[in-house]
Structure 1
């Protein structure tokens, strides 16, 4: 097992680059990339960094030269032979050859496109522009780089023994969470913590801790590189990015209203089983489910990723019941701001009514709260979202207006088209 404290103390970025592989990313990114490669390969998009925790002055904490070094390193990466063999030949969700030969040939020759970086006050403006299949693969590594550089800015001030104590405390904190989760009969939990992790080495340690501590209750990780190296399942389906871009390409309000369902119609053609998971909250879950075509009710489950999680699950159960489906055969995946207390409460409330699973993210892989003076290692809310598609603004409404993105006038238009009224504002923890 890696001595993380010593590695951090002695680290040199060429030995420990923050992102060390193109598959050091979330599995759903690769699944979505294949879908985009097939259906909209020439669409031009722009992604941009959004620091929702404006009190964290990233440009004062992170040296611009070091940031550029890490981003340039990512642009030098390509698939290794072993990584390509794993993607081509491994079984994912019970299916061999998940990734088609034409997509793999393209991916094996890919280098990520250029980026635009400039400092604006205490923050960085970081954007990526180009063909959608290429640009979308910047999201996860860009977030990982910024999160870890912020961590390193704090860690660089610490001595060798101070770092040993810090990581010992962090390991103890996580293991105490694992011990609490052991008592939840029938638990199913995956690591979803790549994008806002403390570091790659720490995420890898967390996955190993869950493997040993939870056994069969731990069902896998969203991180492809760790899944490959640790021989666990790669977990993931799709995300808000797909309906956001499809919606931006819509020419009329009627086309806009149909866009979220067109995304899933394209997905339906490619995937079956546990890959058919609905993410309904991009433009408001209530309206999405109310107007969903009947064939979507036959899908395997729903991911609840914003708003009150219990309300989201109750809404899903009611929708399945209204469409003649048995909720006990369906899957609800909770994935928003989870920690042990919330997981335990939701598991107790819903485990006998639906199949329940949890995608545990930032507070698994980056919970250093209370371990450093001033809480300078506490996680914060950083995202990288689709901002434009073919020159048109991309919008996300969410079930929590604090997570909404896009121009104000377009947000108002989307609320009108999708019938979104007053929403409860909830603190965005991470």
Structure 2
């Protein structure tokens, strides 16, 4: 087991790359990338960094030269032979050769495209432009670099013993969470914490703690590199990025209305079983399910990622009942801002009514709240999203209006087209 505090102390004296592998990313990114490579490979997109927590002045905390050094290092990476062998030959979700030879040949020759970085006040503008399959792979490593550099800026002021105590307290805090979760019958939980982790080493430690503390209740990790090195299941399906870009490419309102279902029709051709998970909230969960084609009711389940999670699950249960499906055979994955209390509450509410699973993210891999003066290591809400496709702006409505993004006039248009009514705003935790 790595002595994290010592590594943190030592990296003060030399460059310590934050991202060391192209598969230090979320599994759903690679699944989506293959789908995009097959269906929309020439689409031009722009991804942009969005700091929702404007009280965190990233440009004051993070040295621009150091940030560029880390991003340049990522551009030097290529897929290693053993990583390619793992992707080509491993079984994922019960399927061998999940990744097709043409996609793997492309991925093996990939270097990530250029980035554009500019300081604007106390924040950074960081954007990536180019072909969709290439640019989309910047999202996770870019977020991981910024989150860890912000952490390093705080940790740099600490002495060696102070660092040892900090990590001892953080380890104790996580282990106490695990002790509460291990009492939950039929718990199924995975690590979804790559994007906004404290650091790679800390995420790896958290995964090892979950393996030891929860046993079979811990079903895997979204991080491909950790899944490979720890011989764990790689977990993930799809994300909002797909419908956001498909919708932006729509030529008129009718095509816009159809776009989220076109995404899943393409997905249906490639995947079955537990990979057939609906993410319905991009343009409103109730609205999506109300107009969904009947064949989607036969999919394995839904992932709830915004709004009131209990309300979202109840909406899905009603929809399955209306479509003649047995909700007890369906899977609901909760993945938005989870911590132990919410996991316990949702498990108790829905156990026996649906198959319940949890994707535990930032508050698994970055919960240093209350462990430093002024809470300088508390997690914050940082995202990197597709903001433009073939010159057109993207839009996300979400079930929480505080997570909406896009030009105001386009948000209004999307609400009209998708029939989105009154929404209840909720605090964005992470």
Give TM class, smaller chain: over 0.9
Question: 2:11 aligns to what SS in structure 1?
Answer: coil
- CA shift, 1:409, in A, is 0.6
TM-score of the aligned structures, taking structure 1 as reference length: 0.99
Distance (whole Å) between structure 2 residues aligned to residue 421 and residue 63 of structure 1? 44
**Residue correspondence of structure 1 range 291-330 to structure 2 within 5 A:** 291-330=291-330
CA contact (8 A) 2:204 2:226 kept: yes
Unaligned runs of 5+ in 2: none
- CA shift, 1:12, in A, is 5.6
**Other-structure match for 1:98:** 98
**Other-structure match for 1:72:** 72
Distance (whole Å) between structure 2 residues aligned to residue 422 and residue 49 of structure 1? 28
Distance (whole Å) between structure 1 residues aligned to residue 372 and residue 420 of structure 2? 41
Distance (whole Å) between structure 1 residues aligned to residue 21 and residue 12 of structure 2? 17
**Residue correspondence of structure 1 range 365-380 to structure 2 within 5 A:** 365-380=365-380
**Residue correspondence of structure 1 range 390-409 to structure 2 within 5 A:** 390-409=390-409
Distance (whole Å) between structure 1 residues aligned to residue 264 and residue 247 of structure 2? 13
- CA shift, 1:17, in A, is 1.1
Structure 1 residues 13 and 292: CA distance shift in structure 2, 3 A: farther
- Aligned structure 1 segments of 4 or more residues deviating by more than 4 angstroms: 12-15
Question: 1:220 aligns to what SS in structure 2?
Answer: strand
CA contact (8 A) 2:238 2:279 kept: yes
1:194 maps to 2:194 = yes
**Other-structure match for 2:270:** 270
Distance (whole Å) between structure 2 residues aligned to residue 115 and residue 20 of structure 1? 18
**Other-structure match for 2:180:** 180
1:131 maps to 2:125 = no
- CA shift, 1:13, in A, is 8.5
- CA shift, 1:422, in A, is 1.2
**Other-structure match for 2:338:** 338
Structure 1 residues 338 and 113: CA distance shift in structure 2, 3 A: same
**Other-structure match for 2:61:** 61
CA contact (8 A) 2:12 2:156 kept: no
Question: 1:387 aligns to what SS in structure 2?
Answer: strand
Q: Deviations over 1:382-404 (max 9, x none)?
A: 00000000000000000000000
**Other-structure match for 2:117:** 117
**Other-structure match for 2:384:** 384
Distance (whole Å) between structure 1 residues aligned to residue 315 and residue 250 of structure 2? 28
- CA shift, 1:16, in A, is 3.3
Distance (whole Å) between structure 2 residues aligned to residue 408 and residue 143 of structure 1? 26
Q: Which moved more, 1:406-415 or 1:5-14?
A: 5-14
Q: Deviations over 1:358-379 (max 9, x none)?
A: 0000000000000000000000
**Other-structure match for 1:239:** 239
TM-score of the aligned structures, taking structure 2 as reference length: 0.99
Count the aligned residue pairs: 430
Cα RMSD of the aligned pairs, angstroms, is 0.7
CA contact (8 A) 2:44 2:131 kept: yes
Question: 1:11 aligns to what SS in structure 2?
Answer: helix
